[in-house]
C-alpha cells in the first residue's frame, strides 16, 4: 500500500483479484488509491467471457473506470494507455500451465511497462500445479499467445517467480528489463495443496479440473470433447460413438461457460474422471490412449498446428507417430527440463523440496 499511495495506478485484474471477499479495484478505491484504468485479460474483467472470445473496451458500471481489453485486437497496453501511469498492478490467479493465457498477458504487460518506464507490481498467489515441473520446453518457432517463453508445459512457478524469471533471463523484446516488485505470499511452499477460492476461468470450475487441465488441454486440438458445454469440463472425455465407453454426456450451450461447444447436442461416450481416487500429474497417457483408439489419425487429431502450439514443439507428434511410449517421450525431455530446473531455482521465492 505505501508504494501505491498518491500514485496513478492501472490494474490487470479479473474475477480472481479478491481481497477478503472484496474486489481489488473496489478495495484500492476505498483506500483512496488513484486507480485510473483496468486492463482486462481473456474472459474479461469480471471473468464471464468464453475462451477465445474477443473483448471490446468498455466502462465498469460499478466504478466508472475505463476497462481496456488486452485480449482482442491488441494484447499489449499502448504508450497512450500507460501515459501518466506510475504503477501497473497485476493480480490474477494462474494455474501453472504454459498455455494458460494469463501469463502471456503478464509477459506483454511487462514488456509495455519496460518500454514506457512504468513500474510493475505483482501481487503473488499460490500455484495449484506448483508442486512439480513437467512437459516439453517451448521452441522459438512455436511461440504464440499460448506459449510465449521457453518454459515447460507445467512450469512450477507462481506468477511472481515467473515474472522474475522472464525479467532476469532477458526474455522480453530486446532483452529489456521492467522495474518489478513482487509482493510475496505468506506461509506458502510449493508442495502445499491449494484449493482455489474463485474459479480461475469459466471452464476450470474445481480442483479436479485444474489438476487434469495440463493433461487434458491437448484434446482441444482433437475431435474429442473435454466436457465443454457441461458443468464438469476438463473432468471427462467423450466422442459421439458408443464404442468409446458406457459413460455419456451431451454438450449444450451454457451462458458464461460455452456458447457453442464441440459436439453441441450430440451424445458423447467416453471416460468420467470425477471418481478418480488420485489425480495424476501431467501425463500423456490419456492422449496416447485415445489416439490409438481411432483407426484413422485424421478423425482424431483435427488441428495438428494447435496441438504443436500447445505442446510448444512438433517433436511430440512425430514421436507419437513413430510409436514411442510415454516413457520414451518423457525421457527425450529430460536434458532440457534439467536445464530449466536450474534456471527456475534462481527465481524461486518459496520453499521447494520437490524431487522432480
Rounded to a whole number of angstroms, the CA Rg of the chain reads 20
Give the integer Cα–Cα distance in Å for 47 and 41: 9
Confidence (pLDDT) at 50: 58
Per-residue pLDDT of the chain (356 residues; tens, 9 = 90+): 999 999 999 999 999 999 999 999 999 999 999 999 999 988 777 655 555 566 678 888 888 999 999 987 889 999 999 999 999 999 999 999 999 999 999 999 999 999 999 999 999 999 999 999 999 999 999 999 999 999 999 999 999 999 999 999 999 999 999 999 999 999 999 999 999 999 999 999 999 999 999 999 999 999 999 999 999 999 999 999 999 999 999 999 998 889 999 999 999 999 999 999 889 999 999 999 999 999 999 999 999 999 999 999 999 999 999 999 999 999 999 999 999 999 999 999 999 986 55
Are the CB atoms for 350 and 127 separated by under 8 Å? Answer: no
The domain ranges of the chain are 2-183, 207-339
Give the DSSP H/E element, type plus range, for residue 249: strand 247-249
Determine the pLDDT at residue 319.
98
What fold characterizes domain 207-339?
3.90.1150
DSSP state, residue 274: T
DSSP letter string, 12-32: EE-TT-EETTEEHHHHHHHTT
pLDDT score at 51? 55
Q: Which CATH class is domain 2-183?
A: alpha beta
Strands 119-123 and 180-183, bridge-based pairing = parallel
pLDDT of residue 180: 98
Residue 127: all three cell numbers together: 500455484
pLDDT at position 340 is: 98
Q: Which among 187, 196, 107 has a CA at the least distance from the CA of 155?
A: 107
pLDDT of residue 291: 98
Q: Which residues 6+ apart lie within 8 Å of 305 measured at CB?
A: none
343 DSSP β-pair partners: none
DSSP result, 55-115 = ---EE-TTT--EEEESSSS-SS--HHHHTT--EEEEE----SBTTSTHHHHHHHHHHHHHH
Amino acid at each position: 500500500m505505501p508504494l501505491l499511495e498518491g500514485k496513478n495506478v492501472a490494474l490487470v485484474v479479473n474475477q480472481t483479484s479478491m481481497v477478503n471477499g472484496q474486489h481489488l479495484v473496489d478495495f484500492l478505491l476505498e483506500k483512496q488509491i488513484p486507480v485510473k484504468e483496468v486492463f482486462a485479460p481473456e474472459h474479461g474483467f469480471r471473468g464471464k467471457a468464453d475462451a477465445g472470445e474477443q473483448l471490446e473496451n468498455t466502462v465498469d458500471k460499478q466504478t466508472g473506470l475505463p476497462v481496456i481489453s488486452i485480449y482482442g485486437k491488441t494484447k499489449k497496453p499502448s504508450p497512450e494507455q500507460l501515459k501518466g501511469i506510475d504503477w501497473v498492478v497485476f493480480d490474477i490467479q494462474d494455474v501453472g500451465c504454459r498455455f494458460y493465457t494469463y501469463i502471456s498477458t503478464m509477459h506483454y504487460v511487462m514488456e509495455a511497462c519496460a518500454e514506457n518506464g512504468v513500474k510493475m507490481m505483482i501481487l503473488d498467489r499460490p500455484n495449484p500445479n506448483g508442486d512439480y515441473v513437467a512437459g516439453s520446453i517451448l521452441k522459438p518457432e512455436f511461440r504464440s499467445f499460448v506459449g510465449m517463453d521457453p518454459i515447460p508445459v507445467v512450469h512450477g512457478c507462481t506468477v511472481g517467480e515467473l515474472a522474475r524469471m522472464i525479467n532476469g533471463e532477458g526474455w522480453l523484446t530486446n532483452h529489456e528489463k521492467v522495474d518489478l516488485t513482487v509482493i510475496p505470499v505468506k506461509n506458502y511452499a510449493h508442495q502445499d495443496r491449494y484449493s482455489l477460492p474463485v474459479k480461475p476461468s469459466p471452464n476450470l470450475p474445481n480442483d479436479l479440473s485444474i489438476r487434469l487441465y495440463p493433461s487434458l488441454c491437448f484434446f482441444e486440438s482433437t475431435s474429442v470433447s473435454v466436457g465443454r458445454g457441461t458443468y464438469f469440463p476438463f473432468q471427462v472425455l467423450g466422442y459421439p460413438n458408443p464404442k468409446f465407453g458406457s459413460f455419456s454426456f451431451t454438450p449444450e450451450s451454457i451462458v458464461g461457460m460455452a456458447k457453442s461447444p464441440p459436439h453441441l447436442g450430440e451424445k458423447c461416450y467416453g471416460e468420467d474422471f470425477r471418481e478418480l481416487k488420485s489425480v495424476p500429474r501431467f501425463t500423456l497417457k490419456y492422449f496416447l490412449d485415445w489416439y490409438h483408439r481411432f483407426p484413422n489419425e485424421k478423425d482424431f487429431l483435427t488441428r495438428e498446428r494447435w496441438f504443436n502450439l500447445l505442446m510448444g514443439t512438433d517433436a511430440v507428434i512425430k514421436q507419437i507417430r513413430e510409436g514411442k511410449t510415454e516413457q520414451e517421450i518423457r525421457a527425450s525431455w529430460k536434458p532440457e527440463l534439467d536445464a530449466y530446473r536450474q534456471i527456475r531455482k534462481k527465481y524461486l521465492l518459496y520453499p521447494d523440496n520437490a524431487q522432480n
